[in-house]
Structure 1
Amino acid sequence: MDIIRTISKGTDLGGKDPDHIVELCNEVVQEGHSVLIFCSSRKGCESTARHISKFLKKFSVNPQNDDNEFSSIISALDALRRSPAGLDPILEETLPSGVAYHHAGLTVEEREVVETCYRKGLVRVLTATSTLAAGVNLPARRVIFRQPRIGRDFIDGTRYKQMAGRAGRTGIDSKGESILICRPEEIKRIVGLLNESCPPLNSCLSEDKNGMTHAILEVVAGGIVQTANDIHRYVRCTLLNSTKPFQDVVKSAQDSLRWLCHRKFLEWNEDTKLYSTSPLGRAAFGSSLSPDESLVILLQFFITLIIFEATAFNLVEILLLL
């Protein structure tokens, strides 16, 4: 392993900062780019954001933009103040420095404000847990891993590559950097992690994984699939179609449609020849439950209702006898 760079221990840019997090952020921010820092816990996200915001130099590389940026930050803070949860004290402290945090503990409104500020360049340093890597498209020039862990588990090669891949996105930036901070005794394991090959990629729509019914419900509820022809267009875009014969994939989708209609998740209109979701289908879609999980919940609800009605009936009988 070659030494690419050595950071002087004498720097005091970040106070007591043995990992030089502030310096690693500041040098990118001063060039007008963004930094994404992955932390292993929610508490780590918040404490890292607070630490960086205390020491980070003013990130604007164009002083003429300062007034506009300050005004936009004030507007963001006002939006958070008006949200149902009120203004989070940590975001109130960090946002003026162009720093924020992002994890599952944020409300929907807070997440929207933080993500919007990041996309606009008002937030240049964002600390986050691995949940950000799962579904939010927020690229960066430099990605920093505060620890080689996700929660308590040591990160694997696939997750590392997925999360590090936010740096230097094609069409967004010309280059990207990934920095993983670890202890000396973890270096050997980290080198092995970096050399890991990606495991085989399998479609979750295959029959043994029973994902097709869930996918079909979602695309009908989302208005992507309404007709029989729409089914053909949809399955052509799936990974399953690249690994199995097209007609087999179409048959699987059609079987899922029939299953969903038979169990009242979907409705078929003979006049318009269109599929639509039933109240049950909309409830399942809105809750993000799979059709099978929804049926289990529905069954439990009916059992509870029957028991409640039977109990209520017995109480009425007893009262009449008295």
Structure 2
Amino acid sequence: MEVAEVLPEFADAFAFEEFNRMQREALPGLLESNENVVASAPTASGKTALAELAICKALANGGTALFIAPLRALTNEKEDDWDRFESLDYSVYVVTGERDLNPRRARRADILVMTPEKLDSATRKHESRRYDFVTDIDVCVIDEVHLLDADRRGSVLEVTVSRLRRLCDPRVVALSATMPNVDDVAAWLDAPAETTFEFGDDYRPVDLNAGVKTYTHGENSFADKYRRLYRAIDLAEPHLRDDGQALVFVSSRQDTVQAAKKARDEIAERDVPMGVRGDIEFHDESKAALDNDTLRNSVLDGVAFHHAGLSKTERDLVEQWFKEGHIELLFSTSTLAWGVNMPARCVVIRDTKIHDPLEGEVDMSPLDVLQMLGRAGRPGYDDVGYGWVVCDGSDADKYRRLLRDGKEIESRLAETLETHLNAEIAMGTITSLEEVMDWLETTFYYVRGQSKPEEYDFPNLRGRVRDCLEELVERGFVEMDADDLSIEATPRGVLASKYYLRLETAATFAELCDRVSEDGAVLEADDVLEAVATAEEFDSVSARQSERDAISATLVGHETGDLEAGQRKVLAILRGAANGSTPTELASDAWVIRRNATRLISALGAFLDRLAGPHAANLAKRVEARIENGVAEDAVGLTAIDQVGPGRASKLASEGLTTPGDIVEEGIGGLVDAGLTEGVAESVYEGAQSLPSIEFDWGQFPETVATGENEVCDVTVRNVGEPARAGVRVTVNGVEMTSTKTYLRGEETVPVGVFGADAEELEFTVTVTFPEESLLPLESTRTVDVV
């Protein structure tokens, strides 16, 4: 069955000319029906084509398709892969947290590509103009739907798909690796029997021979890695000698590099006939194309590594050369198992435990293990593929059971029910206990609860929900009307949902706001950093023994109280980032921790803005900017200006220029004198003009006041820059008199009461801060003598 016969107008959208047996059997259900579809099939059997068939049907009818990719790294691959649709004048648009969203492009896109997390965030904000495009979806393709069983991420996928179906009721096409309980997924998605497909191992293009191999676990984890590496090479060697290829999965990017270097030496020592050093053309091509020295040297010996930290060009070349057979032994992280179709005759999982910067050492998920092993066997080259799990003897039976029985897909919603229930209440989709039950009936959790009532405590479901609601009420996220039992979210609950926070973290942030607003506590940068370092999102961060000296050195002079080792590590990374000097011992986890921390600080800033005031919110904004840019406090405000990065901000601050007002006053000539080129000076000057800039006019403010006398004076605060939300505060001798929020456009009069008090001297200060900008607070002071 040729593609051109079935879909002549979309023939160029497919990477092949003929459908295989599995695709042919699923084709009528996808093209001749509008029912939801669930298809379970072995890895590498061609499931992607099923997604593309569903997308083509929607596009032919003038509709919009949404593809939910399991990992962020794969969204970019889909964008590249689906240039084929672009060539047919259909637009593909990727929406991820790493890119600035263009709502207009998203609205006009024919194919949207998103991760579950980004779709969750977008559907929570579907009523906003920015994210309204998510309610206009005609078909939703869920790639690797068995991720429902993934820790934390699974519940996000589950509630998001349920929410999307309530919002716009798209056709759903769910694709999965082989799983025993495909009927439960079909029941959840209302896919009838005729469009529920369970393709067994006989649909694999190449048979799989999978097993478990053990190694002797020692005291030294570093030495253990090499024991497992030699075990992996032992398993791969016969296939390498027989013109096969081997793919070895390891736990981290750094490990792919180290394993490849060590394997090159070992392969040479064993005199395995590999490599293309005699191929002058390939030698010249790799030398010219690769910037990574280690990779360039390795590929000539037929060994390479692949991870998301390589440039796109390098990843593409490694994939190309592996497919062409130039690379015979490839070390990779798990991302490759979920993404590019790159089978090998032999697949070895060297590491079954991984170090997660946020979770510490954890077991690799069973889903990842099965996905990796599914890459064994090259269609058209091999009759059988070989897959091996290398593990400690104590884990061997666990993996043998996994390979023998597979993995039933469970719901993970119960683990985070409070968080997701709070999100639905905050959105206004749930307003009563009965509506909670209606919502639950749309989830995979409800379906699995019917299949396994005892394991899911299904008979007590209503009681579980009631307890969950009472907990949300008690912790201040939800309010319940005592008369009609209606429920609605509090500001705390709305903010927790909007900023995607765990409830424990949201409660901590709200308590900090209470201390500032109700108790009058002065918020310091240390308070912001500690609130984030102790957030539940970082509760599993661990500090290795080799990191502890660097942590202590970074925190010298700072009181860390009762913080645990992992919390101190997060705090040290944030302090180092704010100063632009993260210790090398902490560098491997620093990027992930910093990225999560800036998101949390941004959320804390929103809490402070709503619950404690603009001055506290501005402090959080400055702390966030310091961590992102690594600049000193006096330079942080300049990073709000376009064209001003960390180096330029520090340079200008050293010249005494710390605010947009200073930049504008200095003028282009002054900026050139400060060391900027004329072109850059012009850009910085224009950028400064696009930010607020404040002037103070104290008018007829007195210099003295008699004891017992008083008068009210007017101070004018004038914004000569761009309008912005602001907080204006008046203090006398450090004690707050008034504080107001305003949208500062032009000028505003601030009343200041001058009272003859017991003090001999009164110092009045008017301070202006901008909660949405990292600008330094601007203040002006007048002193009045009491006579």
TM-score for both structures, normalised by structure 2: 0.23
Deviation of residue 132 (structure 1)? 0.9
Q: Which shifted more, 140-149 or 155-164?
A: 155-164
For 2:214 and 2:366, locate their aligned partners in 1 and report how far apart those are by CA, in whole Å: 25
Hey, what does 1:143 align to over in structure 2?
Answer: 347
Hey, what does 1:119 align to over in structure 2?
Answer: 323
For 1:43 and 1:310, locate their aligned partners in 2 and report how far apart those are by CA, in whole Å: 43
Cα separation, partners in 2 of 1:20 and 1:5, compared to 1, 3 Å = closer
Q: What is the 5 A alignment of 1:219-234?
A: none
CA distances 1:43-102 after superposition (whole Å, capped 9, x unpaired):
2111111111112135359xxx8743x53133122211xxxxxx2121133112100000
Structure ranking higher in helix proportion? 1
Hey, what does 1:252 align to over in structure 2?
Answer: none
| AA of the residue aligned to 2:692 | A
Q: What is the 5 A alignment of 1:1-322?
A: 19-56=230-267, 57-60=271-274, 67-68=278-279, 70-80=280-290, 87-151=291-355, 152-194=361-403, 195-199=405-409, 312=692, 314=694, 317=718
Deviation of residue 41 (structure 1)? 1.2
Structure ranking higher on relative contact order (CA contacts 8 Å, 6+ apart):
1
Q: How many residues align?
A: 203
Cα separation, partners in 2 of 1:91 and 1:5, compared to 1, 3 Å = closer
CA distances 1:252-272 after superposition (whole Å, capped 9, x unpaired):
xxxxxxxxxxxxxxxxxxxxx
Deviation of residue 170 (structure 1)? 4.2
Deviation of residue 190 (structure 1)? 2.0
| Residues 37 and 145, structure 1, Cα contact 8 Å, conserved in 2 | yes
| AA of the residue aligned to 2:325 | G
| AA of the residue aligned to 2:255 | G
| Residues 214 and 392, structure 2, Cα contact 8 Å, conserved in 1 | no
For 1:119 and 1:138, locate their aligned partners in 2 and report how far apart those are by CA, in whole Å: 7
| AA of the residue aligned to 2:368 | R
For 2:300 and 2:331, locate their aligned partners in 1 and report how far apart those are by CA, in whole Å: 15
Q: Which shifted more, 112-121 or 147-156?
A: 147-156
For 2:346 and 2:353, locate their aligned partners in 1 and report how far apart those are by CA, in whole Å: 18
CA distances 1:204-249 after superposition (whole Å, capped 9, x unpaired):
xxxx9xxxxxxxxxxxxxxxxxxxxxxxxxxxxxxxxxxxxxxxxx
| Residues 58 and 97, structure 1, Cα contact 8 Å, conserved in 2 | no
Secondary structure of 1:177's partner?
A: strand
| AA of the residue aligned to 1:59 | P
> Where does structure 2 lack aligned partners over 5 or more consecutive residues?
1-210, 216-225, 356-360, 412-419, 421-605, 607-639, 642-687, 697-717, 721-745, 748-787
Cα separation, partners in 2 of 1:73 and 1:26, compared to 1, 3 Å = farther
Structure ranking higher in strand proportion? 2
Runs of 4+ more than 4 Å apart: 3-7, 169-172, 308-311, 313-321
Deviation of residue 115 (structure 1)? 1.1
For 2:373 and 2:695, locate their aligned partners in 1 and report how far apart those are by CA, in whole Å: 63
Deviation of residue 107 (structure 1)? 0.8
Deviation of residue 175 (structure 1)? 0.8
For 1:126 and 1:60, locate their aligned partners in 2 and report how far apart those are by CA, in whole Å: 12
| AA of the residue aligned to 1:21 | A
Percent identity, aligned pairs only?
26
Higher alpha-carbon Rg: 2
| Residues 277 and 283, structure 2, Cα contact 8 Å, conserved in 1 | no
| AA of the residue aligned to 1:312 | P
Hey, what does 1:240 align to over in structure 2?
Answer: none
> Where does structure 1 lack aligned partners over 5 or more consecutive residues?
8-15, 81-86, 202-207, 209-299
Deviation of residue 32 (structure 1)? 0.7
Cα separation, partners in 2 of 1:309 and 1:105, compared to 1, 3 Å = same
TM-score for both structures, normalised by structure 1: 0.53
| AA of the residue aligned to 1:36 | L
Deviation of residue 157 (structure 1)? 2.8
| RMSD (Å) for aligned C-alpha atoms | 4.1
For 2:695 and 2:250, locate their aligned partners in 1 and report how far apart those are by CA, in whole Å: 56
